[in-house]
A and B are shown apart, each in its own frame.
Chain A
Amino acid sequence: MPVRLVPSFRTVRRVVAFATIPAAIAITIQDNLYEITPVTGSSMAPTLSPDYELEGRSDRLLWSKVSASANLTRGGLVIYTNPQHSERTAVKRVVALEGDTVILDPRRRPGTLDRTTGREDLDRVQAKAWDQMAPKFEVPFGHVWVEGDNWRKSNDSNNFGPISKSLIIGSSPVIVFPWARLGTKPWDVRRRSGTRVVKGTQGVPPEVFRDMFE
C-alpha cells in the first residue's frame, strides 16, 4: 500500500484545530477572566518572591481580571501596565485611592540610595518631580498611588507618580506557587509602612469630566 505523503484535508483540519482552539481558549480566558503571572523582581520582597535576587525564584499569582479597577482597596495588590514601558506589567500594592492625601516617605525619594546602575540622571529627574509632590500629595480623580513593599528596590509611584485606574489589569490575587503557600494572601497582613495616607472622599470627578459620569 503506498504511503500517503500529503496529509488529507481532514487530517490537516484536525491538527490545526487541535493546535489553535485550545490556545485561543486559553488566551480568551487569560484576557477576560483569570491569569497566572510570575512576580519578577524584588520590589515586593519579602512578601512576594523573597528569593528573587539570590536564586531567581518567583512566586506565581492568579489574578482576577473581571472589573479589575473597580472595588480597589487600600493595601490590596494589583497588576498594571507599566506606565514607562507599555509592553510590560508590574505588581505593586495600592496604598492610596483617588482623593486620598499621601504623606510621602523621605526614604522613598528617588536617588537617596547609592545606585551605580547608570540611573543617576533618571534618579535626578525623578527626585525633582518627587520634591514637587512632597510633602503631601493628593491623588487625582481616576488614579491610584502604588508602592512596592521593598522600599530600596521599588520603581513605583514615588518615581512616576500616581497611575490611572485604566492601566490596572487585574486585582484580588491568590498565590498558586510555591505549593507551600498555595491559596494564601500574605499581603493582607498590616505592615508598618513609612508612607502615611489621609483618607479622603472619593468619586468626585473634576468639572471638565463631570458630564461623562452622569
Chain B
Amino acid sequence: MLARLFHRPQLRLPILRRSSPIHRLRRHASTWRTRFIPSIKILRIPTLRAIHIPSIRDLRMPTPKAIQATAYWIARVSNYVILFFIGYHIFITHFFVYGPVYGISMLPTFNNSGDWVLTSSHYRRGRDLQVGDLITFTHPIKADTQSLKRVLGMPGDFVLRDTPGTSGVMQQVPEGHCWVAGDNQEWSRDSRMFGPLPLGLVKGKVVARKAAGEWLLRGLGEPWAEPEVD
C-alpha cells in the first residue's frame, strides 16, 4: 500500500513473449498487425526505460499535468500523516503511553535512565486509582513536564505531611486530591513540597516496565513489600 503512494499511475501493457500461443500460431506469417492503442499516443506516459533529457524549455514552468500530479501526491501523503497523528493522539489519551523515564527520585524501583514504562490511560483523572499505584501526572508547578510518583493517600486518608522523622504532623488528603511520594525520599520532590496533587492532573498508571532490556510486570509494588533480589 505504501509503494502505491510513491508511484505515479502508469499504464501496464501485457508482456507478450515469443513463446506465447499467438506467436506459435503465426510464426510463419509475413505481416503482423499490432493493435492500435490510442492511449499511449495521447497521454505520452513515460516508461521506465525512457530517458528524459530536459531542454531549456522544460526549465521554465512545469506542465499543468505535472503540477496536478504533484499536488495529488502531496495531498495523499499529508492525508496519511494527519490521520496517523490523530490516531496516535486518540491512542495516547485513551489507551496506552510507552516512554522513557529519567531521574533518581524513584530508586530502587526505577533506574536513573534506560527504563521505559507502559502507562495505561484508563486511570487518567484518578479513575480506579488505589494506594500504592505508580502514576504519571502533569506537574502542578511546571505545566509542561510530567512526573512519575507513587500514590500514598487517596481522598479522606491521613498521611504524614513531612519526611518521616521530622515533624510527625499528619494531614488529611482533601476531596479530589491524592498524596504522592517518590520511593527515594531524600531525592524526591513530591507532595511534601507541593502539597496534595489534584486528581485531575493524573495522566495514567504504570502497568509494565522495561528495564535494561527485559520486561518486568512484577517489581512495581512498594519497595518494602517485595523481597530483595540480588
Which residue numbers of A lie inside 8 Å of B, CB to CB? 21, 24-25, 27-28, 31-32, 69, 81-87, 141-142, 160, 163-167, 205, 208-209, 212-213
Contact = CB atoms under 8 A, between A and B. Distances in A.
For the complex of A and B, list the 5 residue pairs with the smallest distance between their C-beta atoms, beginning with the closest.
Answer: A81-B200, A86-B199, A84-B176, A86-B200, A164-B140
A213 B200 CA distance: 23
Interface stretch (B2-10, B13-21, B81-89, B105-113): B81-89
Contact of A82 (B87, B127, B143, B200): B200
Contacts of B201: 81, 164, 166-167
A142 B90 CA distance: 29
Nearest to B177: A83
A153 to B, nearest CB: 19
Given A86-B198, A86-B199, A166 B139 contact: yes
Given A28-B86, A86-B126, A86-B176, A209 B200 contact: no
Most buried by A among B89, B93, B200: B200
Interface of B: 83, 85-87, 89-90, 93, 125-127, 138-143, 145, 174-177, 189, 193-194, 198-202
Given A81-B198, A82-B200, A83-B198, A31 B89 contact: yes
A70 to B, nearest CB: 8
Contacts of B189: 208-209
Contact of A213 (B86, B87, B142, B199): B142
Given A32-B89, A167-B201, A86 B142 contact: no
Contact of B198 (A69, A164, A212): A164
Contacts of A167: 198, 200-201
A64 to B, nearest CB: 15
B6 to A, nearest CB: 23
A62 B120 CA distance: 30
21 contacts: A21-B83, A24-B87, A25-B86, A28-B89, A28-B90, A32-B89, A69-B143, A81-B125, A81-B200, A84-B175, A85-B175, A86-B126, A86-B199, A163-B198, A164-B140, A166-B140, A166-B142, A167-B198, A208-B193, A209-B193, A213-B142
A211 to B, nearest CB: 10
A25 B140 CA distance: 29
Contacts of B145: 212
